[in-house]
């Protein structure tokens, strides 16, 4: 049996579909959108106020990736604190008072993943200045490392390229959009393969040689039955 190969048109169609889908996925990716929206680094200010309620109050919950962020921390309580901003995208410690991450665990993580900001806030200081470069697109947790403060809820989420929040939920999974895109890609790839196979079969049938040209005798017609 003669094998047929996909035609050049079918192969070109298959490659075109893959390139179009890949370009669409890249354009959809949050990192691509963020870098395209903010091509040049700038500077911005962030104010952090520490009060007596064991919580942080930020002037904004969103910074721009790549910007130089100047931070001004105002100490308005009589208790020492820290302002520690993680450098781990979409990562969040378990802060529940019944099953919170231990301070030893948190410090071990910070030793392996140095934070963007880790400032001690003594009770005798009223204003502290620091700065950091806004990280890549995503959500970043900040917290206080004084024993008991994190478990009491002294933490929050700073967004880079997207909005964060004081008690925002960090989605560490791929999310529905990723599954939708993956399913669409899979469906288009399967459709392209099937289309290439069908077109290839048709193109092959056009050029298929007759049996006598392949060295086979023509089939002998059966004699008609006499009545």
pLDDT at residue 136 in the model: 96
pLDDT at residue 82 in the model: 96
Helix (H, G, I), strand (E, B) or coil at 171: coil
Confidence bin at 178 (pLDDT 50/70/90): very low
pLDDT at residue 35 in the model: 43
- Percentage of the chain modeled with pLDDT above 70: 52
Cβ within 8 Å of residue 112, ≥6 positions away: none
Q: Is the pTM of this model over 0.75?
A: no
CA-based nearest residue to 58, from 66, 49, 68: 49
Q: What is the mean pLDDT of residues 184-196?
A: 63
CA-based nearest residue to 101, from 47, 43, 38, 148: 148
Strand spans (E) along the chain: 43-50, 56-58, 62-63, 68-75, 81-85, 117-121, 127-133, 138-143, 155-160
């Amino acid at each position: 049996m003669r094998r047929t190969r996909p035609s050049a048109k079918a192969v070109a169609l298959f490659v075109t579909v893959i390139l179009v889908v890949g370009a669409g996925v890249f354009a959809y990716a949050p990192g691509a959108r963020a870098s395209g929206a903010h091509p040049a680094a700038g500077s911005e200010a962030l104010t952090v106020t520490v009060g007596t309620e064991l919580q942080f109050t930020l002037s904004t919950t969103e910074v721009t990736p790549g910007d130089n962020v100047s931070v001004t921390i105002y100490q308005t309580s009589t208790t020492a604190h820290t302002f520690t901003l993680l450098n781990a995208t979409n990562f969040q410690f378990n802060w529940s008072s019944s099953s919170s991450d231990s301070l030893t665990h948190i410090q071990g993580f910070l030793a392996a993943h140095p934070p963007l900001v880790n400032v001690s806030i003594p009770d005798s200081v009223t204003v502290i200045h620091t700065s950091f470069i806004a990280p890549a697109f995503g959500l970043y947790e900040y917290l206080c490392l004084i024993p008991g403060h994190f478990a009491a809820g002294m933490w929050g989420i700073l967004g880079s390229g997207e909005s964060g929040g004081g008690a925002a939920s960090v989605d560490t999974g791929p999310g529905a959009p990723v599954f939708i895109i993956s399913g669409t890609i899979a469906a288009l790839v399967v459709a392209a393969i099937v289309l290439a196979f069908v077109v290839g079969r048709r193109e092959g049938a056009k050029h298929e040689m007759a049996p006598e040209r392949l060295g086979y005798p023509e089939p002998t017609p059966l004699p008609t039955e006499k009545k």
